[in-house]
Amino acid sequence: MENVSVSVKDLSLSFGAVTVLDTLNLDIKDGEFLVLLGSSGCGKSTLLNCIAGLLDVSDGQIFIKNKNVTWEEPKDRGIGMVFQSYALYPQMSVEKNLSFGLQVAKVEKTEIDRRITRAAEILQIQPLLKRKPAELSGGQRQRVAIGRALVRDVDVFLFDEPLSNLDAKLRSELRVEIKRLHQSLKNTMIYVTHDQIEALTLADRIAVMKSGVIQQLADPMTIYNAPENLFVAGFIGSPSMNFFRGELQLRDGRAFVHANGVDFDVSAYPSRGPFKAGQKVVLGVRPEHVRVDEALDGQPSHQAVVDIEEPMGADNLLWLKLAGQSMSVRIAGQRRYKPGTAVKLSFDMAVASIFDAASENRL
């Protein structure tokens, strides 16, 4: 328990008859960057608000630094929070925005100045200190909002979709900056987002959430390469993983997924247990794990026809028809195919995913 920073135990929250979170458990290590990822309405922001103390929980406990803070006010929890809409106080200058919380806490004037100077230095907002929030750009505003959490000298930073209001270029810039901030401060950070790129790039661990339940909690590479269930597999990755519904068949010591007349040889798949013949399964293959017109050792090839080509510069996305459904394949950008071209596809089954069709869990 020593290096646990934030611990959520059996947390439940319901608004009237609607249960948003149901006996949720989560341990976050000291200095860890944890991302809560999910589509809107999955309870990720609600969970963050519970940790911040902005929402009263219905049941369960929250510990921060081994202290039970379930009934504590937000200010007594040792947290700083950054919001999607920046939430800067519009009538105060940047400096006043930063010092407001410290003034309320009756921190000494010299100490306030010292902390503001330090935060402004880290975030490079010194020239903006006298300005009002309305005179700042979106990126600058979010920097000030981060600064407001920084001056509080807290153990845990909470980010509630901090980059969602920014345009794509600023978002990627600030994303790198948040990562740099985490590397230099080494604070615990909990970060809520619906953007999988943010989640994959920033996180030490990602918690993928769906309707108030954590579907998988693991490091980004595990989440991407070995999704625990069908939801996680479909949610992570753009374009989405290709899914083929079919039936397991065992022939001549090899295993096949028979889907709509096509036999996929899945003998190379690192299965957790022995395959059962006749089991209904879903085969998932990421677009970049399919080879086009390239033989793969011990893998049969499948005939397909290019439907649409989407060149994206660095890589090229092909949409093809196979087993009566549309699927996507990612190839190098310089390899071009005209629609209507017949191609040979080979699947890298060693990195594929197979899920049970009924339970939707990984096999």
Residues 235-274 that bind another protein (CB under 8 A): none
Cα(217)–Cα(209) distance, integer angstroms = 9
Cα(340)–Cα(107) distance, integer angstroms = 71
According to CB under 8 A, which one of 38, 43, 80, 284 is a site residue for another protein? 80
Q: Does 41 contact another protein by CB under 8 A?
A: no
Q: How far is the CB of 96 from another protein (least distance, A)?
A: 10
Q: Does 85 contact another protein by CB under 8 A?
A: yes
Q: Does 71 contact another protein by CB under 8 A?
A: no
Q: Are 335 and 292 in contact (CB under 8 A)?
A: yes
Q: How far is the CB of 81 from another protein (least distance, A)?
A: 5
According to CB under 8 A, which one of 5, 7, 46, 49 is a site residue for another protein? 49
Q: Does 138 contact another protein by CB under 8 A?
A: no
Stretch that binds another protein, among 73-81, 228-236, 283-291, 329-337 (CB under 8 A): 73-81
Q: Does 148 contact another protein by CB under 8 A?
A: yes
Q: In this structure, what DSSP letter does residue 287 have?
A: G
The residue (of 5 and 84) whose beta carbon lies closer to another protein is: 84
Q: How far is the CB of 19 from another protein (least distance, A)?
A: 19
Residues 87-116 that bind another protein (CB under 8 A): 87-91, 100-101, 104-105
Q: Does 54 contact another protein by CB under 8 A?
A: yes
Q: How far is the CB of 166 from another protein (least distance, A)?
A: 15
List the one residue out of 192, 204, 123, 121 whose CA is nearest residue 163: 192
Structure tokens at 28: 């976050």
Amino acid letter at 40?
A: S
Q: Does 73 contact another protein by CB under 8 A?
A: yes
Q: How far is the CB of 2 from another protein (least distance, A)?
A: 27
Q: How far is the CB of 133 from another protein (least distance, A)?
A: 11
Residue partners of 13: CB distance under 8 A and separation at least 6: 19, 20, 21, 46, 50, 55, 57, 58
According to CB under 8 A, which one of 24, 51, 69, 81 is a site residue for another protein? 81
List the one residue out of 34, 316, 264 whose CA is nearest residue 158: 34
Q: Does 84 contact another protein by CB under 8 A?
A: yes
Q: Does 75 contact another protein by CB under 8 A?
A: yes
Q: Does 17 contact another protein by CB under 8 A?
A: no
Helix (H, G, I), strand (E, B) or coil at 183: helix
Q: How far is the CB of 73 from another protein (least distance, A)?
A: 8
Structure tokens at 141: 């505003």
Cα(128)–Cα(130) distance, integer angstroms = 6
The residue (of 63 and 100) whose beta carbon lies closer to another protein is: 100
Q: Does 170 contact another protein by CB under 8 A?
A: no
Structure tokens at 48: 């963050």
Cα(347)–Cα(18) distance, integer angstroms = 44
Phi, psi of 297 (to 5 degrees): -50, 125
Cα(325)–Cα(329) distance, integer angstroms = 13
Structure tokens at 220: 């980004």
Q: Does 128 contact another protein by CB under 8 A?
A: no
Cα(238)–Cα(236) distance, integer angstroms = 7
Structure tokens at 227: 């999704």
Q: Does 324 contact another protein by CB under 8 A?
A: no
Query: Which parts of this chain interact with another protein (CB under 8 A)?
Result: 49, 52-54, 73-75, 79-81, 83-91, 100-101, 104-105, 148, 152, 160
